[in-house]
Structure 1
Amino acid sequence: MIIDAHQHFWNLDRVEYPWLTPDQGPIHRTFEESDLEPLLDACGVDGTVLVQSADSYADTDFMLEVADRWPRVRAVVGWVPLPRPDEAAAALDRYRRDPRYVGVRHLIHDEPDPDWLLRPQVRDGLDALAERGLTFDVVAVLPRHLEHVPLLAERHPDLRLVIDHLAKPPIAERGREPWAGLLARAAEHPNVHAKVSGLNTAADPETWTAADLRPYVEHALEVFGAGRLMFGGDWPISVLAGGYRKVWDETVKLLDDLRLEPGDRARLLGGTAVDVYRIPDSD
């Protein structure tokens, strides 16, 4: 089973997305399942993990509505107000009655404080996630965000952490540090996982190919292993740098070039996502 572990929908008439302004060009419009379904069909992708796009209940409720009408959504990573741990715990208890609600994400890169994740109230909110067996997706855009991951893993050993987009390696600059060392340190903790996703928008949006991504994915495989990595298309953000089909085709080419064992390939393209997000009814 092939699972895209990172994909978004948004509806501009239903939900407010403060970051999604007209200067975002081709992605400043509503995207729902009718846009994505033919792309998944063409690529042979069986299901997706729908990930939050706004720090709001409205966005989470909208995603669960989509999941109700479109069974290809196998899991939803939503939102709760982690800095208000009592409210967060109550919301989690409400949401997790739906087995498709598997975890939480917060747009930490939009927070003015780069140390937002280390705030005591947020720590208590993350404890509420761990107690309920849910995941936390880390949007590690700055090196500082990635520095926090080992500390979070130690503080919350029962919390499954997922680093989105391999923490945005410096592909366009053909750089390596501090990204490579910080990713390796995060990978030392067995409760940390990562997504091979969103790499096209970290590269040159016009010219990127599998060859540009290869050194960064090779490093991720070296430090995590395929059993803690998962593919994500990052659609519709991927529209800004080639689109879904190019992301899929270049990912497949990269995996072919790396000559992964069939079991490792299956883990990266679905098995890891099923295990980490505990995706129900995935047989």
Structure 2
Amino acid sequence: MVIDAHQHIWDPAQASYPWLTPDLHLIDRAFALDEALPLHREVGVKGCVLVEASDDPDDARLMERAADAHPEVLGIVTYSPVSDPVQLAHDLDPTTRHNRVVGVRNLIHHHPDPDWMLTEAFDEGLGILEALGLPFDVVATSSRHLRNLTTVSERHPGLRLVVDHLGKPPVGGDLGEWRKAIRTVAANPLTAAKLSGLYNESRPAAWTPDDLQPIVDHALEVFGPERLMYGGDWPISVRAGGYRRVWNGISQCLLHLRDDEREAVLFQTAADVYGLAPRAPRNAVGMDIG
């Protein structure tokens, strides 16, 4: 079994997506899970985690409706305002929250304060997630964001963190600063990361597996397979060549791993971090590359 740990859906008629502008013409429309599931089946993905696409409660409701309609949705990384602890506690009340909510994410990486995750209100919200045992998916787009995660880990030693897209390393560029920053982040054993979104935002289709290999190898070195998980990042990945191309690129970078190590990246880490499913049978993960 393969789990896609980073799957989006969105619908501008049902929620607000301020980042979805006409210049993103390839993805400037509604994308439903019904469109993604055949792509999953093509490469052997059996289940997915839906991840918020906007800091909008209506986006969270959209994911909940999709989860109710599709058993393939194993978990939801939902939106709730971490910087509003009262609202966060209300949204995540264990007695009322949706039964497939397995984590929280906020799309605030473009906040004018680069140290947004260290503010008092945000810190209080992270404490709520820590107490509830819910992971926080981090959208880090700079080495400064990654370095701030060290402070977050010190303040909240029981908080599980998930670094989306490996903190957006400069694919095809100088990896030196990113290597140092992500190594520091990985020193916290409760921090995991996603092999997802590994392309340059200005030229998203201009990548090759050879560009990804040093990034994936460094991530494997500092996190180990047991703290890395695969994410297709669809439909953002439409701009990077589509689901199959992204799957093939990541898969090629994992070919040198043992079967149990690939199983960790493609299934077990997501299952463990998000509490999704029982352990997969040995050698249950295939590698369909074509």
TM-score by length of 2: 0.93
- The unaligned stretches of length 5 or more in structure 2 are 281-290
CA displacement at 1:110 relative to structure 2: 2.4
Q: How far is the alpha carbon of 1:50 from its aligned partner?
A: 0.4
Counterparts of 1:189 and 1:94, CA distance in 2: 27
What SS class does the counterpart of residue 23 from structure 1 fall into?
coil
Contact 2:268 2:279 in 1 (8 A): no
| C-alpha distance in 2 between matches for 1:241 and 1:181 | 26
Higher helix share: 1
Give the C-alpha shift of residue 156 in structure 1: 0.9
Q: Name the residue aligned to 1:268.
A: 265
Tell me how far 1:203 sits from its aligned partner.
8.9
For 1:100 and 1:149, how far apart are their aligned partners in 2? 26
TM-score calculated relative to the size of structure 1 = 0.95
Partner of 1:10: 10
> Which residue identity is paired with 1:233?
G
Contact preservation (8 Å) 1:172, 1:203: no
Is 1:147 aligned to residue 144 of structure 2?
A: no
Return 124-133 or 196-205, whichever deviates more.
196-205
Distance 1:97 1:240 in 2: 33
How far apart, CA to CA, are the structure 1 residues paired with 2:11 and 2:245? 24
* Match status 1:279 vs 2:273: no
**Counterpart residue number, 2:241:** 242
Q: 1:76 — aligned with what?
A: 76
| Aligned residues with identical type, % of pairs | 46
* Structure 1 residues 186 and 167: CA distance shift in structure 2, 3 A: same
**1:149 Cα offset (Å):** 1.1
In 2, are the aligned partners of 1:170 and 1:202 still within 8 Å (CA)?
no
Q: By how many angstroms is 1:241 displaced? A: 1.1
Rounded Cα–Cα distance in structure 2 between residues aligned with 1:206 and 1:106: 26
CA distance in 2, matches of 1:95, 1:118: 29
Number of matched residues?
280
Are the counterparts in 2 of residues 203 and 212 from structure 1 also a CA contact under 8 Å? Answer: no
Deviations along 1:96-148, whole A, 9 cap, x unmatched? 64331011101121211111100111111011111111010010102211111
Q: Please, what is the CA RMSD of the aligned residues?
A: 1.6
What amino acid maps onto 1:218 in structure 2? D
Structure 1 residues without counterparts, runs of 5 or longer:
none
Determine the structure 1 residue equivalent to 2:199.
200
Range with bigger deviation, 186-195 or 207-216: 207-216
Q: What residue in structure 1 maps to residue 228 of structure 2? A: 229
In structure 1, what is the Cα distance between the partners aligned to 2:48 and 2:153? 26
Q: Distance in 2 between matches of 1:243 and 1:149?
A: 31
